[in-house]
Amino acid sequence: MSLLDREVPGVVMTPDNIRSRTLPVAVNLAIAAGAFAVAAAVVFGLAIGNWVLVVVLGAAFYLVGLNVVAGRIEGRRAARDRAMKSLIYAACVLAILPLASVVWTLVSKGIGRLDADFFNTSMNNIGARDPEGGAYHAIIGTLEQVGIATLMSVPLGVLGAIYLVEYGRGKFATTVRFFVDVMTGIPSIVAGLFILSFWVLIVSPWFNNGQPRFSGFAAALALAVLMLPTIVRSTEEMLRLVPGPLREGAYALGVPQWKTILSVVLPTALPGIVTGIMLAVARAAGETAPVLLVAGGAAAINFDPFGGNQQSLSLFVYQQAGDASRYAPDRAWTAALTLVALVLILTVAAKLLARRNKLSR
């Protein structure tokens, strides 16, 4: 005989009695309001902090009150479950708040110079008292430098990851993987110093009558050094996630390994590979030290990445943020907003293209 079939004196086993009680929404809201009211009274009454401390204490009081009230209405187990859910929601909000704060700050402060003049002019012949001037030259430099770095690092990174996953065995593959891991953590200024000592001081004089020369291509080389380990590691992890039966099925049909990689493995892992590539692109687009060391920066527009100094958006933000002009901070914020928007547009476009692979049709 089950528990539901047993007769309890004075209790009729109906669906209303079987169903457990739940905490009403109004009571939940009342607990939250009371908790934050008490927190505000404590913080502002004792003058020990601001609204941030009110939020923290209010959340703590809310969890305590929720656990007590829910324990009386729903029982201990349901109360603990509700408290854990509240902690998870609070952690999610805390994780989103910094991102929302950054986005709000960028938009609110960067919208001041978000006009056609900012995107169509450079800083050439712009003085400290001139409100004009834009980041057209920096946008061109960023697109060229990051584009060239992507063209160099993506094929090398993807091919290196394919070797490590599909062909790499023994000490050589272990050594390659070790150096990739080491390169992942190198500071960006080290990559800039490497390109400065190798390309700018040794190689570039061969093409410039014996004189070292800064260039956007040198900055692209430094950015490629930073992008390469990220692409290799992310692509390697994505290729390892491809199920083995997909490869085995292709091999059973007599498909060569190289064709299996091209037609089965890469299309399956393509969305993850694109995500890793865009992470590397975002990092490269935001680097300042390598561009400052090997490209030098410029106030005028330079479309030639192989000749002369060239600007980038990250370097433009750095220079404008330290400029004494009262118009410089607005340019810096707008350039930062432009850089974030540019990376966002490239990421969304790459994601949309990655969906169009053979296995998803």
Query: How many CB atoms are located within 10 Å of the residue 86 CB?
Result: 18
Match 């005028």 to its residue by tokens: 300
* pLDDT tens sequence across 294-341: 998 888 999 999 988 999 999 999 999 988 888 899 999 999 999 999
pLDDT of residue 18: 47
pLDDT of residue 7: 47
Query: How many CB atoms are located within 10 Å of the residue 37 CB?
Result: 13
The CATH architecture that domain 118-356 belongs to is Orthogonal Bundle (1.10)
Stated pTM of the model: 0.79
How far is 309 from 298, CA to CA, in rounded Å?
6
pLDDT of residue 143: 94
Across the range 48-65, mean pLDDT stands at 83
Q: What CA–CA distances, in Å, run from 249 to 122, 161, 339?
A: 57, 22, 45
Radius of gyration of the chain (CA): 29
Which bin fits 209, alpha (ψ -120 to 50), beta or left (φ > 0)? left
Cβ contacts of 187 within 8 Å, gap of 6 or more:
289
3 state SS for 238-302: HHHCCCHHHHHHHHHCCCCHHHHHHHHHHHHHHHHHHHHHHHHHHHHHCCCHHHHHHCECCCCCC
How far is 87 from 94, CA to CA, in rounded Å?
10
Query: How many CB atoms are located within 10 Å of the residue 168 CB?
Result: 17
* pLDDT tens sequence across 246-301: 888 988 988 899 899 999 999 989 988 998 999 999 999 989 999 999 998 888 99
Across the range 154-162, mean pLDDT stands at 94
pLDDT of residue 265: 92
Map residue 302 onto helix, strand or coil.
Answer: coil
Map residue 310 onto helix, strand or coil.
Answer: strand
Residue 184 binned pLDDT confidence (cut-offs 50, 70, 90): confident
How far is 178 from 175, CA to CA, in rounded Å?
5
Residue 205, pLDDT > 50, answer yes
Tally the residues of the chain.
361
Across the range 22-33, mean pLDDT stands at 83
Domain boundaries, the chain: 19-112, 118-356
